[in-house]
Every structure is written in structure tokens, then in C-alpha cells.
């Protein structure tokens, strides 16, 4: 049991927290296809690693944070045709995040930070909408560093910046670092690099992985992934989250 994970605490332990000074971090992912070599919960694994690293970096700056249980269900339209993917509506996902913020506000938490690792464009708009809604009804501040926007994305390596980064080197490295037992390495070793850019496909109006040139639901180079890069990426992701939170707190 750790006092940094809300779901492992009792209600009396939460009551004893200095909630007015405590940051709640919500890891957000999706249950969706990530190539033939990574598990459906890949985004949640990455988001949770980002959240833990962010909490550690916030602690080093004198801020206390607790991790909420990861949110695994959201809009996942790009992967919807692949068996196992679970996609819910934009409206349902947005209201769910707002209601989480509403509960945290009721209990006196200082701020909600979203550690997000799912980059489906409709999902990103869902989170943006939730932040706007929370602000409009005077809930606690909600911080969401969108990795696809400046300045964050420029810190995450060439594959990420190319847009060919779904279940490729970027994501595979993090899962290898965090949950190596879940990676199908014998399959990963035989996958050719797929340089098709999801970012370009989205700008061109494509709406599925298949249309974007990813018939096996991966983009980038899974074979180039390694644990060392994964650990470095997690540290960068944690730094992004911590920096966004500190910026909000100092406004």
C-alpha cells in the first residue's frame, strides 16, 4: 500500500490528507489496438508511468500529489474496427472527466492534472472540452498538457514528432520499460517499420488506422524500441506533467 495512490487509501486516510494542498493526477488511456505486439491497455500503462513520474517530480518541488485509478475508457474511433477496442462517445467521456473533477472539488483537492497518453483527435477534443466545462462551472483547476501541441511534443523524439508513433518505437519502449512481460517480443522482432504519419493522415481527413496506412494498428518502428529509451521517455513525460502543474499553480 502506498499513500500516493488514492485507490489504496481508506476514506479516513483521505480525510486526513491536507487536500487543499494536494494535487490529484488522473492517468487517462484507452482500450484499443496497439499493433500485434502490445496489449490493448498500452495507453493506460504509459499514462500511469507519466503520472508516477510527474508525482515524483512534483514532490521534489515540494508539492504533494496522489494518483487516481487510471481511466481506461474514452473515444477510440481510429481503432474501433479492431477486435478488443472499446470506444465510448465524446459526450460520455467528457462528462465522466467533469464529474471526476466535480467530486474532487467537493472534497477540497487543490488541482486535477490529467496524464494522458491516448492521442485520438476526438479524444483530445474531449479532454479540452472537459477542461473548458470545469472552468465554466467553477470547479477546481484542471491541467491537461496536450502532447500533440507546443511546447510538449517537441521534447518527445523524432518518431513522435513525425506522427508515426502509435505502437512504434516511442510507445513500445515505454511498455518494455514498465511491463516487459506484456510485450510479444517474438512478434515485435519481425515487424517492419511503418513510416506512415498519423498526424498527416488526420490532417488529410482520414478517420481510421486502416485509412491512415496502418492495417495492423501500428505506426513507426517497434523493433527499434528498448527499455532505456522507455525510461528516458517516462522521465520526460513526468517532467511535462510537473511543469504544466507548476505553471498553473503559479498563475
In a domain, 166, yes or no: yes
In a domain, 1, yes or no: no
The count of domains in the chain is 1
In a domain, 216, yes or no: yes
DSSP-assigned letters across all residues of 107-146: TT-SEEEEEE----HHHHHHHHHHHHHHHHTT-S-EE---
- Ranges 155-169, 178-192, 198-212, most confident: 178-192
- Residues with Cβ < 8 Å from 219, sequence gap 6 or more? 163, 164, 165, 166, 167, 168, 194, 195, 196, 197, 198, 209, 212, 213
In a domain, 11, yes or no: yes
Q: At what angle do helices 169-178 and 42-60 cross, to 10 degrees?
A: 70
pLDDT at 1 over 50: no
- 236 falls in which pLDDT band (50, 70, 90)? very high
CATH number assigned to the domain comprising residue 27: 3.40.50.10310
In a domain, 68, yes or no: yes
pLDDT at 165 over 80: yes
In a domain, 47, yes or no: yes
- Residues with Cβ < 8 Å from 129, sequence gap 6 or more? 90, 94
For residue 155, give its domain range.
Answer: 6-249
pLDDT at 224 over 60: yes
* Short-list 12, 189, 6, CA closest to 104: 6
In a domain, 201, yes or no: yes
How confident is the model over 123-149, as a mean pLDDT?
96
Three-state DSSP class for residue 81:
coil
Q: Determine the pLDDT at residue 127.
A: 97
In a domain, 234, yes or no: yes
Per-residue pLDDT tens over the stretch 29-82: 999 999 999 999 999 999 999 999 999 999 999 999 999 999 999 999 999 999
Burial per residue of 127-139, b for 16 or more beta-carbon CB atoms within 10 angstroms, e otherwise: bebbbebbeeeeb
CA distance 153 to 145: 10
Are the CB atoms for 53 and 234 separated by under 8 Å? yes
pLDDT at 242 over 90: yes
Are the CB atoms for 87 and 100 separated by under 8 Å? no
pTM: 0.95
How confident is the model over 189-213, as a mean pLDDT?
94
Amino acid at each position: 500500500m502506498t499513500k500516493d495512490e488514492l485507490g489504496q487509501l481508506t476514506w479516513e486516510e483521505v480525510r486526513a490528507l491536507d487536500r487543499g494542498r494536494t494535487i490529484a493526477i488522473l492517468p487517462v488511456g484507452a482500450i484499443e489496438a496497439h499493433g500485434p505486439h502490445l496489449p490493448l491497455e498500452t495507453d493506460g500503462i504509459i499514462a500511469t508511468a507519466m503520472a508516477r513520474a510527474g508525482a515524483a517530480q512534483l514532490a521534489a518541488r515540494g508539492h504533494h500529489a496522489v494518483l487516481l485509478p487510471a481511466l481506461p475508457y474514452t473515444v477510440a474511433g481510429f481503432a474501433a474496427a479492431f477486435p478488443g477496442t472499446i470506444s465510448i462517445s465524446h459526450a460520455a467521456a467528457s462528462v465522466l472527466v467533469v464529474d471526476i473533477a466535480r467530486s474532487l472539488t467537493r472534497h477540497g483537492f487543490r488541482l486535477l492534472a490529467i496524464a494522458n497518453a491516448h492521442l485520438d483527435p476526438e479524444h483530445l477534443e474531449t479532454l479540452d472540452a472537459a477542461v473548458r466545462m470545469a472552468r465554466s462551472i467553477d470547479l477546481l483547476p484542471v491541467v491537461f498538457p496536450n502532447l500533440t501541441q507546443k511546447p510538449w511534443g517537441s521534447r518527445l523524439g523524432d518518431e513522435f514528432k513525425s506522427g508515426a508513433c502509435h505502437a512504434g518505437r516511442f510507445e513500445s519502449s515505454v511498455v518494455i520499460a514498465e511491463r516487459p512481460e506484456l510485450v510479444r517480443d517474438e512478434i515485435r522482432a519481425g515487424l517492419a517499420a511503418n513510416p506512415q504519419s498519423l498526424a498527416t493522415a488526420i490532417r488529410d481527413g482520414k478517420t481510421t488506422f486502416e485509412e491512415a496506412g496502418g492495417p495492423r494498428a501500428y505506426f513507426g518502428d517497434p523493433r527499434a524500441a528498448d527499455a532505456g529509451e522507455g525510461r528516458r521517455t517516462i522521465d520526460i513525460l513526468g517532467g511535462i506533467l510537473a511543469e504544466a502543474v507548476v505553471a498553473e499553480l503559479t498563475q
